[in-house]
Amino acid sequence: MKRMIRIVLIAAVATGASFVVHQTSNAQGTPQGPDKAQATQLGTQQGLETTVNGLLDAVKAKDAAKLKAFYTPDYTFTDPDGKMMTADERLKGLARPEAGTSDSFSDIKARIYGTTGVVTGMGSGKTSGGAPTSSRFTQVWTWQNGRWMLAASHVSRVK
């Protein structure tokens, strides 16, 4: 267990060099980042949970544009067969009809360690053939420039 935690933390530190800018617009349409109070509030466990819920909603909807906004530039995904994918490969995979569906998520637990968040949970859905499927997932998040960004995730089938 200690080895797994160490690996997750190393992965999170390795992604710390990534640079992502989150911008919103003011009334005049000028891009600007979150104010200090807003950024501090979002950097909490509750902020991470809210962000994770937004990501999971985008997964259910298979909304590639929304999903991409959550990923760090060097995001990696490990599928149930152990294949590693980049963000673009992951998004293409989700868009394919044979990818199946993710209908619901449960048992979501978020923990924060400094500027790193670790989220675990369970997903259920259907394969492309319509058979029910369940999986467990782990996500490594990093707090960068006033927002949570997904650096890595892994999915394992539950039998």
**What is the Cα 69 distance to its own chain's centre?**
10
- Strands of the sheet with 147-158, listed across from one edge: 84-86, 71-78, 147-158, 132-144, 116-126, 101-113
> What are the residue boundaries of the structural domains of the chain, listed by start?
35-158
Look at residue 143 in the predicted model and tell me its pLDDT.
96
DSSP code at position 130: S
pLDDT (tens, 9 = 90+) of the chain, 159 residues, equals: 444 334 333 333 333 333 233 333 334 333 344 555 555 556 899 999 999 999 999 988 889 999 999 999 999 999 999 999 999 999 998 877 666 677 899 999 999 999 999 999 999 988 778 888 899 999 999 999 999 999 999 999 998
DSSP label of 91: H
Burial 4-14 (b: 16+ CB within 10 A, else e): eeeebeebbee
pLDDT at 18: 30
Q: What Å distances lie between residue 8 and 5, 26, 116, CA to CA?
A: 5, 37, 10
Q: Which helix (H) or strand (E) holds 106?
A: strand 101-113
Backbone angles phi and psi of 128, in degrees to 5: -60, -25
- Say whether pTM exceeds 0.85: no
As assigned by CATH, the class of the 35-158 domain is: alpha beta
**Beta pairing class for 116-126 and 101-113:** antiparallel
Q: What whole-number distance in Å separates Cα of residue 108 and Cα of residue 126?
A: 20
